[in-house]
Amino acid sequence: MANAETVNGKETVNGKETVSGNETVSAKEVVSGFLLELRRGTVILCVLAKLTEPTYGYSLIAELAETGLPIEANTLYPLLRRLEGQGLLESSWNTEGAKPRKYYATTLFGKEVLDELSKHWQRTTRSMNELLGDK
């Protein structure tokens, strides 16, 4: 049986806020969406930061996962191609090993963009830490 109540002037059903009459959204669902948006913006900064030295895609996936930022190959490779198209990355093939690998590295322009994004990230995190306090 549904448990309907009003919390802070908003109708909720079983802990979910009513959105459009019969559709409900939980806090977990809302947070999940926000985290996805936040991650989209930060993954570019992470990729540029990790590619200051030539690295191949699978290795980059492993390195990002080790730092707590797992990324799927079907997300990473299109991003690498897009950043390369924007002139932020360059790629080269290494065919000396048993298996050819495409290596990516930041260009000079990519390093300029990384430096600027890093400054903004530092300012933003300082501001967020101040706003959030000990929460």
Neighbouring C-alpha atoms within 13 Å toward the C-beta of 42: 15
pTM of the model: 0.76
Q: Write down the pLDDT at residue 72.
A: 95
Q: In this predicted model, what pLDDT tens digit does every residue of 56-95 receive, in sequence order?
A: 999 999 999 999 999 999 999 999 999 999 999 999 999 8
Q: Write down the pLDDT at residue 2.
A: 53
At 16, give phi and psi (nearest 5°): -110, 135
The neighbouring-strand residues paired with 89 are: 106
Q: Write down the pLDDT at residue 36.
A: 87
Task: Name the stretches of the chain with pLDDT < 50.
Answer: 1
CA–CA distance, 92 with 102 (Å, rounded to integer): 6
List of domains in the chain: 4-132 (1.10.10.10)
Q: Write down the pLDDT at residue 25.
A: 79
